Structure 1
Amino acid sequence: MKSVHPIWKCCLALLLITIAGCVTTPPFDYSLFRSHRPRSILVLPPLNQTTDVNAPYSYLSTITRPLAECGYYVYPVAVVDAYMKENGLPSAEEMHGVALKKIRDIIGADAVLYVTIEEWGQKYVVVQSITTIRAKAQLIDTVSGQVIWHGTQAVSQGSGGGGDPIAMLIAAAVTQMIGNVADFTHDLSRTANHGMIYNVDNGFLAGPYLPPQENEHCGEY
């Protein structure tokens, strides 16, 4: 079998890189979002795929503000959580199973935001400490049952000491000690939610309670 000349191998590699660089992400389809245009949103406690039991309610405490600032009425998450539990739905899984028609008839929400937390908290890579939050969400219209928006956001914060191994070890140890006292995930959750809602490419469209503006989206991120 005749071998391929090294020059042609290099040309092929460059061609593949060029083709990959030309591939673009298709624009987000807002047709359903525009046709339904919810005024009020109910946010259910997130499904938690991590081992951190505090993740769902820490996340909930940071989601209302960006949605409200985007121009939507958001049902108080603590009140919704308490109401669901008082009516025999003690877990997020059971709350997510409630029929949309029942949510609309009893609570009156135009749409429900369903969130799943995929990553939450610190992990250590060699001697570097990395705090990561990853969540995905779906906004579903309560009348049609259609998913009118969906998004995913991941935010990480790392700490290390540059290229000095000793400095990296010290930095990782300090971060671990501080992490036992301070919760970095709350601030990262706020950043993740802001990025997910305000992203100009695939975030939320401006809600009905936002003053008129040139940009159809909530803002820039």
Structure 2
Amino acid sequence: MKNKIKSALLCAFAVLFLGACAGSQPEVYDYSAFLQTKPRSIVVMMPTSDSAEIKASAAVLANALYPLSEAGYYVFSPALVNETFKNNGIYDAGEIAQISTYKLKQIFGADAALYLNVADYGTSYMLISSVTRVSVAATLVDLNTGAVLWQKSATAANDSGDGGGNLIGMLVSALVKQIADSVSDASFDLSARADAILFSTDCRDCLLYGPYSPRYGQDRQLGGGK
């Protein structure tokens, strides 16, 4: 009788364990539209922003170019892109985001457009601490069909630390960080980190390598590479 009970308990444990393992498996990202389109060139739109910080959009845009190029894509010059919009009387990022994919294709001839939104940018100060955070969301759209090829969001943050665990130390630490952040643009540096995370490669929902990368077609999340 005891052996039967033990066997039943072991079976139940095995079922629960295997079920938990199966439930913890990450969802497979759908790259079907991306693989069908195979974009080579990307025009990056001026980022929209939910932040009150006026530097947010420009900082995120500037720091997006390097990781996108490193991933293997031809990226249109943001200066030329924005100058084109200005020459047509369009200055606001929100208005730019409303331009049809058909029109963007006509103007730039790019394969895809990248839309960015800055959800958070800047430093929040509290009594004994401060946190600098940059959060960015990206959507890559096929300019031929209007289909969404890829989406992802990323956040980079740092805080002022605990000051050694005592109140005076925490106050001093927060004050020092506030002064340092007022002298240097900590958020700009964090936007580079956020963009690097956002456009990283070889992970479950990462951007696929472009045709100008030596690792094109070898994405680990698709079973390629080493």
> What TM-score does the superposition give when structure 2 sets the normalisation length?
0.84
Aligned to 2:138: 137
Contact 1:197 / 1:204 at 8 angstroms: preserved in 2?
A: yes
Larger Rg: 2
Using the TM superposition, give the Cα deviation of residue 76 of structure 1 relative to its aligned residue in structure 2, in angstroms: 0.6
What's the CA shift for 1:189? 0.9
1:185 paired residue number: 187
Query: Which amino acid is the alignment partner of residue 41 of structure 1?
Result: I
| Secondary structure of the structure 1 residue equivalent to 2:33 | helix
CA distance in 1: counterparts of 2:76 and 2:165, whole angstroms: 48
* Corresponding residue pairs, total: 204
Return the offset for 1:33: 0.8
Letter in 2 for 1:102: K
Residue pairs, 1:25-36, within 5 angstroms: 25-36=26-37
Q: Residue by residue, what CA displacement relative to the aligned partner does 1:122-176 show, whole Å, maximum 9, x if unpaired?
A: 0124411110011111000001100000000011111121312111110100111
Task: Work out which of the residue numbers 162, 165, 168 in structure 2 matches 1:163.
Answer: 165
> CA separation in 2, counterparts of 1:181 and 1:47?
26
Aligned to 1:5: none
1:21, distance to aligned residue in structure 2 (A): 10
Output the CA distance in 2 between the equivalents of 1:52 and 1:182.
15
**Residue matched to 1:201:** 204
Cα deviation 1:29-73 (Å, max 9, x = unaligned): 111111111000000111111110110001111000000010000
Give runs of ≥4 in structure 1 deviating > 6 Å: none
Q: Who is 2:11 aligned against?
A: none
Map residues 67-82 of structure 1 onto 2, 5 A cutoff: 67-82=68-83
Contact kept in structure 1, 2:72 and 2:216, CA below 8 Å: no
- The equivalent residue for 1:100 is 101
The change in CA–CA distance for 1:213 and 1:180 in structure 2 (over 3 A counts) is same
Runs of 5+ unmatched residues, structure 1: 1-14
Letter in 1 for 2:38: R
Query: Is the 1:136–1:152 contact (alpha carbons within 8 Å) kept by the matching residues of 2?
Result: yes
Aligned to 2:177: 175
1:3-82 mapped onto 2 (5 Å cutoff): 22-82=23-83
Query: What SS is found at the alignment partner of 2:66?
Result: helix
Compared CA separation, residues 27 and 61, structure 1 to 2 (3 A): same
Answer whether contact 1:206 1:217 (CA < 8 A) is retained: no
Q: Is the 8 A contact 2:127 2:171 kept in 1?
A: no
Shift of 1:20: 10
Say whether the 8 Å CA contact 1:120–1:133 is kept in structure 2. Answer: yes
CA RMSD in angstroms comes to 2.3
